[in-house]
Amino acid sequence: MRTVVVTGASSGLGAAAVVELARREWQVAVVGRDADRTAAVAARAGGIPLTADFDELDQVRALASELLSRFPRIDALVNNAGGIVSRRTTTPDGNEATLQRNVLAPALLTELLVPRLRAARDTGRVVLTSSVLNRLGGLRLDDLDFADRRYGAGWRAYGASKLATILYARSLAARTGLEAYPFHPGYVRSGFGAESRTARLIQLVAGSMQISPEAGAAPLVHLVDTPELGVPNGTYFDGLDPLGATHPSASDARLADELWQAVAQRIGVPTAVER
């Protein structure tokens, strides 16, 4: 049986995705921050619940260790956990919270699972939840934490993190040979932005424009479950469209490599992998 790990799966599109993937006969590792909600989703999907708080990198390391212990085969990893905060805060690891939740913690989990993913089928696959807001750009390697810039109620940091997600995916594909596909799920009705006053206001005003978690999960499921996607490795999808618009720097291979060097230093992993 094929095995997929899905983070951010205790609610919203992550929960909808694991239920559908289980229906398609994937064994699902359901990862969330809230133990009770995660267990409930896992029970619906017949999956295995695992908990980790991405605000603490040691919990991510422990999660990776448990996954490697439980699953001799991991075919796909979905990095769906993340979020936005309205006021700049730092995690116990000393990183700006949006950066850690959306970039550093997913990168750490991925890198620790790379050998297991590379051993699966012809090559493993990593799917990463990004956003159309990657077009806000604002990625500065000398200020990834937004210590010296206007935070913009969290949206500037969020946009930068979603651009970084695309660049990380492309670096991962180039370094490891793994298939890596970032995507925008659409404006999904969920608990996204619960810590952001502006996000809650936008949801209140534009609620009629939101799509269901099941609709938001559709591209995620497609990217995990489709054997041949017929696009270059590292392609960014806007929903099911492989021609999604990105910030101009999303195609900068040098920036992708420099970002990876900075990320690797922060999460304490080697910058190169053995072929």
> What is the average pLDDT across 202-218?
72
**pLDDT: is 198 or 188 the higher one?**
188
**pLDDT: is 123 or 31 the higher one?**
31
Q: Is the pLDDT of residue 259 over 60?
A: yes
Per-residue pLDDT, 274: 57
Q: Return the number of other C-beta atoms located less than 10 Å from residue 47's C-beta.
A: 26
Which of 136-140, 262-266, 268-272 has maximum average pLDDT? 262-266
Please give the mean pLDDT across all residues of the chain: 92
CA distances from 226 to 152, 231, 240, 273 (A): 38, 12, 12, 26
Rounded Cα–Cα distance for residues 50 and 48 (Å): 7
Q: Which two tokens stand for residue 241?
A: 């469209």
Per-residue pLDDT, 137: 85
Q: What does DSSP say about strands 125-129 and 179-184: parallel, antiparallel, or unpaired?
A: parallel
Query: Using 50, 70 and 90 to split pLDDT, how confident is the model at 236?
Result: very high
DSSP type of residue 134: G
Burial string for 99-117 (b: 16+ CB within 10 Å, else e) reads: bbbbbbbbbbbbbbbbebb
DSSP type of residue 272: S
Q: Is the pLDDT of residue 260 over 70?
A: yes
- Long-range pairs, 62-65, Cβ under 8 A, ≥24: 63/31, 63/109, 64/108, 64/109, 64/112, 64/113, 65/112
Catalytic residues: 158
Which one, of 171, 183, 162, 177, lies nearest residue 253 by Cα? 171
> What is the average pLDDT across 220-241?
97
Percent of the chain at pLDDT > 90 equals: 85
Per-residue pLDDT, 210: 74
Q: What angle in degrees, to the nearest 10, is found between the helix axes of 253-267 and 105-119?
A: 100
Query: Using 50, 70 and 90 to split pLDDT, how confident is the model at 99?
Result: very high
Instruction: Determine phi and psi for 147, rounding to 5 degrees.
Output: -80, -25
AA identity, residue 228 = E
> What is the average pLDDT across 237-259?
96
> What is the average pLDDT across 86-104?
97
Q: For the domain 3-267, what is the CATH code?
A: 3.40.50.720
Q: Where are the domains of the chain?
A: 3-267
Instruction: Determine phi and psi for 52, rounding to 5 degrees.
Output: -165, 140
DSSP type of residue 136: G
Distance of CA 260 to the CA centre of its chain: 15
Cβ atoms 186, 130 nearer than 8 A? no
Q: Is the pLDDT of residue 194 over 60?
A: no
Q: Is the pLDDT of residue 226 over 90?
A: yes
Which of 37-46, 185-194, 266-275 has maximum average pLDDT? 37-46
Query: Using 50, 70 and 90 to split pLDDT, how confident is the model at 138?
Result: confident
Q: Is the pLDDT of residue 120 over 90?
A: no
Q: Is the pLDDT of residue 73 over 60?
A: yes
pTM, 2 dp: 0.92
Q: Return the number of other C-beta atoms located less than 10 Å from residue 88's C-beta.
A: 18
Q: Is the pLDDT of residue 193 over 90?
A: no
For residues 200, 223, 78, 85, the Cα torsion angle rounded to the nearest 10 degrees is -20
